[in-house]
Structures are given as C-alpha cells and as structure tokens.
Structure 1
C-alpha cells in the first residue's frame, strides 16, 4: 500500500499553538477554548494564511476596539469543530474556506444579511444569507520554471498526468482543505465524460505517488521553493510569488477552471452575535476589500473594487460549468470516493 505523506494539524496541536502567543499563526491573542461572551471580544475560526489574518484582524481591532481571538486550522477541521460544538458554540465567526464547504454546513450558521450586499452579486452569497462570499478564487496550476522547461510547459489539467511529474506534484488533502476540495470537483467537472471524472482522478492520484499535503499553504510554498515541480493551488497565493519574481509561472488550465468564493459566516448560537455581525460587515466593506486586493492579491467580491496587480478580469478566464449546489450537497460522497481512490478500491 502506498504511504500517504501528510503533515497533519490536529485540533490538539491547534490548541497548543493558539494558546501560546509566540507560536501562534496570528499576532492577536489566540485561544482554543472559544469566546467567553464578554461583550468586547470575538472568536474567529479561520483557515486563512497568517499574512491575511495578521493584517485584517489588526485592522478590525483598531477600527472597532473589539478583541479578536483566532483559532487557525484547515477548513475541514474547523467545520467539524463547528458541528461538534453545536450545542455550546465556542466560536462566533468562520472566516474563510470554500463557499460550497460552508454551504454543506449551512445548518450550523446564523442567517445574516449584511448592508454591504448591495455591492455584491447575488451569485456570491447564500440565498438564505447563512454565508457570504468574500473573494472569488480561481484555481490554477503553478509550476517551477527551474524544474519545468519551456518545452514541457504546463498548460492544462491533463499535463499533470505526464510521467515526468510523478511524485513531483503538490496537492492538499480535499478532506482538510476547502480549496483542494474545489480543485477536486473542478477536475471532476472538466473530465466528467470519463466516468464522471473519476477515471481522470485515479490517473492523477497515481501521479501524486502517494504524496498529499494537509495544508494548502504547503502547495504554493513547496513549488516556489523547488520542492515540487507543479502544484494545484489558488490564484490569490500563486500571483504573490509571480509578482515577487519567484521562479514560477501561473496557468489557468485550458480545459477551464472554477472561481468559487471564500466565504464568511456567523456561527449559530454565537455568544457575541453583534460583534460577529460587525466582523462580517468589516470583511465585506469596500475599505477591507481594497486592502485585500492591493496588499493580499485577492480578488474582491464587490463590484466597485479593482482586480489585484497582475490579474486580468475574471471574465477573461475560461471556466468549467461548476455545479456549486451539487458540490455542496454531495461533498461527503465525493470525499468518500476520493478516499476509495487513495486505498485503491
């Protein structure tokens, strides 16, 4: 049986990290116990990178005077945590993670219609307002130009099946990473004609050679550092390395890709509901969205904020016919089939 190499972040590890300010992923005070409902604080669960958390949480604290406690982990782990705490919620907001993953757990979120929605296309938020998109996220291929020649340049999903890339591909675990789940469904959609895409996925997993990362951050970092030749990742992270002059190229697969948004949602039963609403409004505001675009290279969910440096209009990108509702409703089944691929069924 092939070994699956992972760098798992268990909730116990999250607790130990977030309890220590020196070893946490964010600069703000962090906790694994959740919000106390003190009236001037909020507990935010987030899979966002430390750079995003540090910058925007500080902005929120400075703007509102509300103290933020962060619990950082992968989208899958955080959603399971929200579910397990449903009778006694310890968090107030889930900030980040693919919207179809949030939709799959919509019963654990509190509907909230932000005043910022007038500047956001309805396709980017839930009809019942249980979650709102904060940034559309095209999925891309990123490859290291020191490891991939111009003659062998990657242009499509199909290219990652080439024998020369066996064991040299970075992919996060779809069961733990919201973006990786979106990528998985995107490939299934692109190759739907082949056994609903699963024939392609089996070939793809074979080329991974058992190497699966537990965190999406390991993908783009690994490619930029030359640990992997190619990675399946998010546009918002890949473009940072492109703009910084790293030896990488970013590609929108010729078969088409997806642009599912990250989302933000208030956890049902939040002990700090008013502060939670303020955080959602803050995340969706033009000021915050502009910071995300200019400083974090994240596309804005708003129709009045320009695209980040180096990125063209979303309309220029070829997109597959991504069925958001199907991806959300069938997430458990898709992940079970993915698990079957891993164990060779």
Structure 2
C-alpha cells in the first residue's frame, strides 16, 4: 500500500483502496472525476458485483496519462475514467480495444473507430452571469458582447494552461470571433489559475461573468441562487467531450470490462447527471426532462477538430501568454 501511495504522490487514494489491499479479483480504476462521484459509483458497482472490489487512484487527467505511459511495461491500472477525449486520443497507444455493448447509444463521433475509447459525457462552454454584478443587471447575449469596455475587470477566465475546459473554450473562441475582439475579451478579463476559482468567483459576487462549464454553473441554478444565470452564447459554443478506456495490459481485463460497461450504462449515466449535472453523451438520456438545462440538440454547437486543437496547443498558449502580458 505504501509503495502504491509513493508511486502516486500526485494522486489522492480514496474509497476501497484505503480499506483493503488489492486482491486477485480487484480492478484498479484511474479516475480524474471528483471524489464524491467516484465513491458513489464504486459503491454501486461493488453492491452489484460483490465478488469484485475496486481500488481507486484519483488525479488529474494529464498526470494519470503520464502515469499510465510510465507503467506501460507493467501496468498497475486496469481502466481510466474519464478525461478529455482529445487527451485520451493523444495516448491511445496505451489503451486496449474493447467494444462495449453500451457503445451503440453513443454517437459515432464520440467513439474510437478502433474501440480504444468511448465517450461518456460532455462539458458545454457557457457564460455564467451574476446579474447583481452585471452592468444594468443584464447578462451578455454572446461572446462578442464581452469585448465592450463595460465588462473590463468583470469577466473571469481560468488560465487555459491549467484548465482543459478553458483551453477548449478559448481555442474555439479564437476561431469564432475576429482577432481584435478575441484580444479585447482577454484584456477585459481577470485570469485565475483554476476552473473553480472562476465559477465560485461569480457565485460569490466577485465577478459578473465567468467563462466556464455548464455543469459547474448549473449547480448554483439548481441550488436556487437567483442571481446566477447561464448564457449559451448566440454565436454558438463548444463541447469538451470526455471518455474512458481500458488500459493495455491491465491485469484484470474481465473485471475491467464489467466496470467499463457499468460506467457506460444508462442507469449510471443518469444518476451521475442527477447528482453532478455532467451531461451524458448517450442519445437515450434527455437531460431536459430531468433539469432546466436544454437538450443538446437545442444548443448551437460549433464543431472543433480535436486533433487540430491538440496539435495547436503549444502555439495557441504562446499567443495567449503574449496577449495576457500586453494587458
């Protein structure tokens, strides 16, 4: 146990891993999802599969991808759930093909053609508005509005160097609006180091607008914080789909496939949405029937090429730093 913790000093070990050493029937789950969500689904899985115990290693997606790569000669994990599909794709050599019986419910664009990963949920980039802090009590209607001088210092944006969701939103925004508008939006904004600092800042009234993820903003709407409103920009917005994969060479392939199917299933995806508002990619789950959120088909989405976006990361971030430095 101590060796595993030392190997994963960047990780937080939670749930069953703290309760018992790994046994022959254990499956090791690497996850970047929040602690509460992971603990809940692990508990449900173990109740339905009492012969299988789940050990969990939790950390950020990037850190876990690097760990999986470093362990390739002797994999210690069995399954990864869940992180950005573009990031998973960049490490696809580390994953084992598997065609789950649940995959037919997921649109083809969110599935690996080789069966190396399967989409689970998607984040939607939104503007989170605090109407008490917004000029005139009015939320912006779209991205272009944020270039107006009246929003200077009232917008908060997570640094895309540290937030993958912010990177998707800003990369997409740079393709959608003119270079001048894009630069002015950044100059109007306060840049923070974490995603949570942005949406919490708006909820607490420190800022009027956050560029953030739908699920993070909606938790305040669902909690009946009347001052908070979600804006789906009129020009269109962007998706950050997430997925999961079986680790190549994992020592418990049968147990890992069972957990994979469980995590991809309609009941589990439905429960995750109800508790954490993470929008499922399954076409047989309509979140508009369970919440005040619109169905995905009713959101104007601007498609982004995940491979191009990943390839452009270094150049984009370099340009980002230049604009921020010129503020």
Which TM-score band (shorter chain)? 0.7 to 0.9
What is the root-mean-square deviation of aligned Cα atoms in Å?
3.0
CA change 1:114–1:158 in 2 (3 A) is same
Cα displacement (A) at 1:244: 1.2
Aligned match for 2:284, one of 304, 309, 317: 304
- Name the residue aligned to 2:171: 185
Which stretch shifts more, 52-61 or 117-126?
Answer: 52-61
Question: 1:46-61 residue pairs with structure 2 within 5 A?
Answer: 46-61=31-46
Gapped regions of structure 1 (runs ≥ 5): 1-10, 20-25
8 A Cα contact 1:138 1:260, kept in partner: yes
Cα displacement (A) at 1:243: 1.6
- Name the residue aligned to 2:112: 126
- Name the residue aligned to 2:70: 84
8 A Cα contact 2:15 2:55, kept in partner: no
Say whether 1:29 aligns with 2:14.
Answer: no
8 A Cα contact 1:75 1:177, kept in partner: no
TM-score, normalised via structure 2 length: 0.84
- Name the residue aligned to 1:320: 302
Partners in 2 of 1:168 and 1:88 — Cα distance? 49
CA change 1:148–1:28 in 2 (3 A) is farther
Aligned match for 1:288, one of 241, 246, 268: 268
Cα displacement (A) at 1:201: 4.7
Cα displacement (A) at 1:342: 5.0
Cα displacement (A) at 1:125: 1.0
8 A Cα contact 1:74 1:177, kept in partner: no
CA change 1:258–1:281 in 2 (3 A) is same
Aligned length: 318
8 A Cα contact 1:75 1:178, kept in partner: no
- Where 2:102 maps in the other structure, the secondary structure is helix
Say whether 1:205 aligns with 2:186.
Answer: yes
- Name the residue aligned to 1:15: 9
- Where 1:82 maps in the other structure, the secondary structure is helix
Partners in 1 of 2:198 and 2:251 — Cα distance? 36
Partners in 2 of 1:167 and 1:72 — Cα distance? 35
Say whether 1:42 aligns with 2:17.
Answer: no
Partners in 1 of 2:197 and 2:29 — Cα distance? 23
Partners in 2 of 1:207 and 1:107 — Cα distance? 41
- Name the residue aligned to 1:137: 123
Which stretch shifts more, 182-191 or 310-319?
Answer: 182-191
Question: 1:232-243 residue pairs with structure 2 within 5 A?
Answer: 232-243=211-222
Partners in 1 of 2:271 and 2:193 — Cα distance? 29
Aligned match for 1:155, one of 128, 141, 144: 141
Cα displacement (A) at 1:238: 1.8
- Where 1:186 maps in the other structure, the secondary structure is helix
CA change 1:235–1:162 in 2 (3 A) is same
Say whether 1:225 aligns with 2:213.
Answer: no
Which stretch shifts more, 98-107 or 36-45?
Answer: 36-45
CA change 1:206–1:280 in 2 (3 A) is same
Partners in 1 of 2:257 and 2:314 — Cα distance? 30
Bigger Rg, which one: 2
Q: What per-residue deviation string (whole Å, max 9, x for no partner) do you get for residues 38-69 of structure 1? A: 33223323222233223222222222233333
